[in-house]
């Protein structure tokens, strides 16, 4: 029996290295596995930012309502296993080994009987997830987050109970296109016949694409600000759809965009109440108020905030959050991003704060010398973090989610230094 370390090492041997997802190949593999994607109902979450948060809100809503909920997210923040969870608990080492064991012979068969190249790592993990939820730990519902895009994404292989899209903005243009309409085209392509679609306040050109696609598929679109509403008040907010009103909602996740994400999750849950009768306004409220999401506007000690903002839209949201929530507090920001991102533009958005840059142990991490000269360089992020221990000013770590993951793990494993943090 292979142990997990071997399982994960084996999965990593499938890194794409230029290979692309092939949905015909996915269909063949899924058929050989007995079509596990058809064995449980699922919600499909697509979009640029907010996917992980919407997934977390939905998971908490359904779990609190007494259902067994599977989630599939990427990238992971703490450990590889976090990509596939049941009621918020990561897949165990033993279960991952079992899934790998079940899939290996099918890959061998594919190599022998077909002309297809090996699947990519993301395709493989998607297969493992479908197999796990169908065969090993049967669930009542899954919340499945698309990887990049939608149209050719490995997750685009099932008929969803609903499609949720929190935002469309610029990211991965090299793969998805250079206008918001092109990017929206890719994301909206997951919508299939008569699937209800819940969207945030998208740019008009992006929402047009979704509405057009919904016309073709005879789907109904529920758009925030049109069909359902977020009603702000002093310290809380309310959700309203027709005669359903949830008032005095408070979130653990900070920022206006999180209120938006929470409203999208409530709307999706609301649409599914007939099929999931245990969902009630009370469980929806309890669920969203309990939700947390590692590395997204997450305080890991009273003055240390982690936020994986890595594209123009999420940086703008982080900036809004800091200005809104901490108008008088001195703020120090540490940023590390990947080479392929428009880093100078992202940093320029944060120029109102004191920003330093650093690098981290990741093949695609931007090197210190490649950042614009005007930003102070931090050779080792651990030294910078140390400054937060003896200060009551606010320290914010942002940039690539891979960087956030590394910093978070470091803080968790050195909880003796970063006291009074962890529950």
Residue 422 lies in a domain: no
In a domain, 240, yes or no: yes
Mean pLDDT score, 200-219: 94
pLDDT at 76 over 90: no
Q: What is the pLDDT of residue 419?
A: 58
The range of the structural domain enclosing residue 247 comes to 4-290
What pLDDT does residue 422 have? Answer: 37
Q: What average pLDDT does range 63-78 have in this prediction?
A: 90
What pLDDT, on a 0 to 100 scale, did the predictor assign at position 138? Answer: 96
Taking only Cα atoms into account, the Rg of the chain, rounded to an integer number of angstroms, comes to 21
Per the structure block, which two tokens stand in for 52?
């992980």
Provide mean pLDDT across the span 197-208.
93
> Which residue's entry shows tokens 């320290």?
395
- Write out the two tokens for 245: 């009103």
Task: Quote the percentage of the chain above a pLDDT of 90.
Answer: 66
- Could you give the 3-state DSSP secondary structure of residue 315? helix
Average per-residue pLDDT in the chain?
A: 90
Residue 407's pLDDT is 92
The pLDDT tens digits of the residues spanning 52-64 come to 899 999 999 999 9
pTM of the model: 0.84
Judgement on whether residues 156 and 238 belong to the same structural domain of the protein: yes
Please report the pLDDT score of residue 291 as a whole number.
93
110 shares its domain with 152: yes
* Residue 330 Rama label (left phi>0; alpha psi -120 to 50; beta): beta
Q: Give residue 175's pLDDT band: very low, low, confident or very high (50, 70, 90).
A: low
Structure-block tokens of residue 353 = 């704060």
Q: 4 with 97: CB under 8 angstroms?
A: yes
Q: How far apart are CA 350 and CA 396, in angstroms?
A: 12
Closest CA to 67 of 290, 276, 285: 276
Which among 290, 306, 324 is the end of a domain? 290
- Asked if 237 and 143 sit in the same domain, the reply is yes
Q: Is 43 inside any structural domain?
A: yes
Which among 15-19, 22-26, 257-261, 389-393 has the top mean pLDDT? 22-26
Q: What is the pLDDT of residues 101-130, one digit of tens each?
A: 999 999 999 999 999 999 999 999 999 999
What is the domain count for the chain? 2
Name the residue among 303, 325, 322 with its Cα closest to residue 314: 322
Pairing of strands 89-90, 84-86: antiparallel
Determine the average pLDDT of the residues in 36-65.
95
Note whether 177 and 96 are same-domain residues. yes
- Whether 134 shows a pLDDT value over 70: the answer reads yes
345 shares its domain with 214: no
The CATH number given to whatever domain includes residue 316 is 3.90.190.20
Q: Which two structure tokens, joined as six digits, stand for 71? A: 């989630």
Per-residue pLDDT, averaged over 210-218, amounts to: 97
Residue count (the chain)? 423
Q: Which of 15-19, 20-24, 132-136 has the lowest mean pLDDT?
A: 15-19
Residue 101 sits in the same domain as residue 209: yes
- Domain assignment of residue 85, yes or no: yes
Mean pLDDT check: name the lowest of 59-68, 203-212, 213-222, 335-344. Answer: 335-344
In angstroms, rounded to a whole number, what is the distance separating the alpha carbons of residues 118 and 107? 8
Q: Let me know: does 13 contact 119? Beta carbons within 8 Å.
A: no
User: Any idea what the CATH number is for the domain that residue 125 is in?
Assistant: 3.40.1190.10
Confidence at residue 292, expressed as pLDDT on a 0 to 100 scale: 86
- Residue at a domain's end among 250, 270, 290: 290
Q: Which pLDDT belongs to residue 3? A: 52
DSSP string, 241-292: ETTEEEEEE--SS-SHHHHHHHHHHHHHHHHTTTT-TT--HHHHHHHHHH--
Same domain assignment for residues 343 and 205: no
Looking at the domain assignment, is residue 418 inside a domain?
no
Contact (CB, 8 A) for 411 and 297? no
Pairwise CA distance, residues 147 & 16, whole Å: 13
Which of 269, 290, 311 is a domain's end point?
A: 290
Note whether residue 421 is domain-resident. Answer: no
> What's the pLDDT score for residue 1?
44
Higher pLDDT, 155 or 302: 155
Does 5 or 141 have the greater pLDDT score? 141
pLDDT of res. 2: 47
| 343 and 323 in a common domain | yes
Q: Judge if 343 and 211 occupy the same domain.
A: no
Domain contains 393: yes
| 388 within some domain | yes
Dihedrals φ, ψ of 247, to 5°?
-110, 165
* Co-location of 259 and 352 in the same domain: no
For residues 229 and 375, membership in a common domain is answered with no
Q: Determine the pLDDT at residue 313.
A: 79
Is the per-residue pLDDT at 172 higher than 60? no
Q: Which of 41, 223, 47 is nearest to 143 (CA)?
A: 41
Q: Is the peptide bond before 5 cis (omega within 30 degrees of 0)?
A: no
Least confident of 66-80, 257-271, 345-359: 66-80
Is residue 281 domain-shared with residue 357, that is, in the same domain? Answer: no
């Amino acid at each position: 029996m292979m142990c997990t370390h071997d399982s994960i090492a084996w999965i990593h041997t499938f890194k794409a290295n230029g290979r692309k997802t092939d949905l015909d190949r996915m269909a063949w593999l899924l058929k050989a596995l007995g079509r596990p994607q058809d064995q449980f109902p699922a919600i499909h979450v697509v979009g640029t930012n907010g996917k992980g948060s919407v997934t977390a809100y939905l998971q908490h809503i359904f779990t609190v309502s007494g259902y067994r909920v599977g989630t599939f997210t990427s990238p992971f923040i703490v450990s590889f296993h976090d990509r596939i969870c049941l009621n918020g608990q990561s897949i165990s080492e033993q279960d991952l080994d079992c899934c790998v064991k079940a899939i290996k012979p099918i890959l061998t068969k594919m190599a022998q009987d077909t002309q297809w190249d090996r699947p990519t790592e993301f395709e493989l993990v998607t297969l493992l997830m479908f197999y796990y939820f169908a065969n090993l730990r049967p669930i009542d519902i899954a919340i499945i987050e698309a990887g990049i895009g939608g149209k050719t994404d490995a997750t685009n292989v099932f008929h969803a109970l609903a499609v949720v899209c929190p935002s469309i903005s610029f990211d991965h243009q090299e793969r998805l296109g250079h206008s918001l309409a092109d990017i929206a085209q890719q994301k909206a392509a997951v919508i299939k016949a008569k699937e209800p679609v819940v969207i945030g306040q998208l740019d008009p050109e992006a929402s047009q694409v979704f509405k057009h696609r919904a016309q073709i598929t005879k789907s109904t679109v529920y758009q925030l600000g049109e069909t359902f509403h977020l009603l702000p008040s002093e310290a809380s907010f309310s959700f309203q759809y027709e005669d359903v009103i949830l008032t005095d909602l408070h979130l653990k996740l900070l920022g206006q965009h999180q209120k938006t994400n929470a409203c999208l999750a409530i709307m999706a849950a609301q649409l599914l109440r007939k099929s999931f009768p245990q969902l009630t306004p009370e469980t929806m409220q309890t669920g969203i108020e309990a939700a947390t999401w590692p590395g997204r506007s997450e305080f890991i000690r009273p003055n240390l905030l982690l936020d994986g903002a890595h594209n123009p839209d999420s940086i703008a949201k982080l900036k809004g959050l800091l200005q809104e929530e901490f108008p008088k507090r001195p703020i120090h920001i540490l940023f590390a991003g990947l080479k392929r991102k428009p880093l100078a533009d992202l940093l320029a958005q944060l120029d109102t704060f004191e920003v330093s840059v650093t690098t981290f142990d990741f093949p695609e991490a931007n090197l210190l010398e490649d950042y614009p000269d005007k930003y102070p360089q931090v050779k080792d992020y651990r030294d910078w973090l140390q400054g937060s221990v003896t200060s009551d000013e606010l320290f914010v770590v942002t940039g690539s989610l891979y960087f956030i993951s590394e910093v978070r793990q470091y803080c968790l494993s050195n909880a003796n230094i970063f006291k009074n943090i962890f529950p």
